[in-house]
A and B are shown apart, each in its own frame.
Chain A
Amino acid sequence: MACINPVPQLYRSVIEDVIEGVRDLFAEEGIEDQVLKDLKQLWETKVLQSKATEDFFRNSVHSPLFTLQFPHGLQQTLQSSTASLVIPAGRTLPTFTTTELGTSNSSANFNFPGYPIPVPAGVTLQTASGHLYKVNLPIVVTQTPGRTNILQHPIQQVFQQLGQAPVIQTSVPRLNPCFLQAATAKSQRMETVLQQPTVLYPGMIDQKHLEHATGDILVPPGNEHKITSEALLSQPEGPQYVSFPGVVFPSQVSQTNSTIEPMLSASASMIQNLHGRPLSTDSQNSNSQRDLNIQVADEDDDVNEIIQIDGTGDTSYNDEIGSAKDIDENEFLGTVDSGVLKVLEEEADSISNEDSTVNCSDNEDPQVDIVEEDPLNSGDDVSEQDVPDLFDTDNVIVCQYDKIHRSKNKWKFYLKDGIMCFGGRDYVFAKAIGDAEW
């Protein structure tokens, strides 16, 4: 597998260029810079979450980044908090070691190494999307790389089952390559107040996982506060930025307890501060002086189905724009000269509305000399294409052409500077040569 993937970087550079280019324009128009930032944010998240680039990330070795802020005196807490680990039913979380915490109020950016991170109480985590989660309860945040996890209703159901009234942010369910699972460590009174149930960018997980997870939620015996919610955050950003794809933190208490009553929660606010130090954060890791051992929990059975959130599934636009990404790319390609060629392999439909008007062929003509030999019956003898386009694909190439050549039914394509959307994934090329038979 090629390590270097040009596509996401290219898209990022496109985004950067465009944003910079319009910055002045926006300022002239009197639009706040925040709007531009939001636009950029939105764009990036969509691009990164869309299927086009998602796979590339998953295969890469990048690890997401998140930032933790630590209040004073956290060290002790951390030590004790992670003493015992609750093993969720049916899933084993390997043990992890406690770590020394850094200085107080330090904020550190971490590459999310892909193994569970025990997060002590009092930590605020903030996702790049701006959601803050304050961890009052020591939790363990694990990253589960799952397949396109979109958490939609299942999570809502979870919450409702739990009885709480979550504020589920359903801004846009996003595809996220992985979501984090935080398991709280027990042994203490869990006084977590999960203030903000946070199903933000939910990753989609299996129903069974959910149920499974709800089963994991245990009530610490003798504890008044019952909390557990799975907050699934999906951090839409890609590895280079900050990504904390999803956070689920059920608070789990006793491991052996099979009779579990998933209790509610109120809110956990985990605040992740992910101020993007973009790109690699290895240096920051070293700064943090903290060393968290984390483990990866695999979510194998997770969702195989990829739900597209852009393109036809896009909810950001009301009008019928195609993929926002494509449009952006088109703008970027910019040149709408005669050399731009769009090769579509799909049938042009949408003419059905015209059929009604044209259904009756004109048998009689006001002019006398025009005699139609046989009226074109709408399908009687002259049937429609009995082999209408067999394939109705969404594989699209948007490019420019050097030469298109045809001999009888043999076609040769000499293309350049294009983007292919193939099987949902995007590929970029500077030159492409193709042969086809019609």
Chain B
Amino acid sequence: MDADSDVALDILITNVVCVFRTRCHLNLRKIALEGANVIYKRDVGKVLMKLRKPRITATIWSSGKIICTGATSEEEAKFGARRLARCLQKLGFQVIFTDYKVVNVLAVCNMPFEIRLPEFTKNNRPHASYEPELHPAVCYRIKSLRATLQIFSTGSITVTGPNVKAVATAVEQIYPFVFESRKEIL
């Protein structure tokens, strides 16, 4: 049951979440009135601005904190965030692009085999938690990487981590364990 350490698995990054600050107070109402492609959620006090080019949605707070979601790669996320800041700058705010940070990366990966989840959980006691009545997937946490994997019985794995590297490492790490508890087709 040796598993290859280098597995040619396609890891698809579906979402990259990043934040940055503008270091200036933003008048949400002005953004809502004058900005293009904006949704003003007055009840929660934020403005959503959607960009087409990198398909991203940004949540803008009046404090100047902006969360940018929907990008498919880290570069794209940065690009989109800068575009967004540029948009705000054009609306008239003294925007400074600071504290840019990728907060979360979400990726999906598909195993070529199915997995026996109860067995997997038993073998990976401290890290894996499985509550089938609550959620059909095993939640596997890798503390060192600060990554979380959700392993489904179909072999599909969803990985979230602080950056793309961590996500890739996590998949590599989990592969042998998952391979152990795979469902063999006769």
B86 touches A382 (CB 8 A): yes
Which residues of B are found within 8 Å of A223, using beta-carbon distances? none
Closest 10 CB pairs of A and B: A354-B92, A382-B82, A348-B34, A382-B86, A376-B97, A372-B96, A358-B89, A372-B98, A362-B96, A382-B83
Q: State A2–B9 Cα separation when bound (angstroms).
A: 64
Which residues of A are found within 8 Å of B61, using beta-carbon distances? none
Interface assignment of A355: CB less than 8 Å from any CB of chain B: yes
A348 (CB) vs chain B CBs: closest residue: B34
A387 (CB) vs chain B CBs: closest residue: B52
B91 (CB) vs chain A CBs: closest residue: A351
Interface assignment of B87: CB less than 8 Å from any CB of chain A: yes
Which residues of B are found within 8 Å of A389, using beta-carbon distances? 36
Instruction: Determine which residue in B33, B37, B91, B98 has the highest number of CB atoms from chain A within 10 A of its CB, and name it.
Output: B98
Q: State A388–B50 Cα separation when bound (angstroms).
A: 13
Which residues of A in the span 362-378 have a Cβ within 8 Å of any Cβ on B? 362, 365, 370-376, 378
Interface size grouping (class) on chain A: 20 to 34
Interface assignment of B149: CB less than 8 Å from any CB of chain A: no
Contact residues of A with B, CB < 8 Å?
Answer: 347-348, 351, 354-355, 357-358, 361-362, 365, 370-376, 378-379, 381-389, 406, 438
A382 touches B91 (CB 8 A): no
Q: State A388–B83 Cα separation when bound (angstroms).
A: 12
Chain A interface, DSSP helix/strand/loop, else mixed: loop
Interface assignment of B23: CB less than 8 Å from any CB of chain A: yes
A409 (CB) vs chain B CBs: closest residue: B50
Which residues of B in the span 62-102 have a Cβ within 8 Å of any Cβ on A? 79, 82-83, 85-87, 89-98, 100
A351 touches B34 (CB 8 A): yes
B89 (CB) vs chain A CBs: closest residue: A358
Interface assignment of B125: CB less than 8 Å from any CB of chain A: no
- The minimal Cβ–Cβ distance linking B30 to chain A, given in whole angstroms, is 10
Q: State A370–B95 Cα separation when bound (angstroms).
A: 13
Which residues of A are found within 8 Å of B23, using beta-carbon distances? 370
- The minimal Cβ–Cβ distance linking A164 to chain B, given in whole angstroms, is 53
- The minimal Cβ–Cβ distance linking A123 to chain B, given in whole angstroms, is 57
Interface assignment of B35: CB less than 8 Å from any CB of chain A: yes
- The minimal Cβ–Cβ distance linking B118 to chain A, given in whole angstroms, is 35
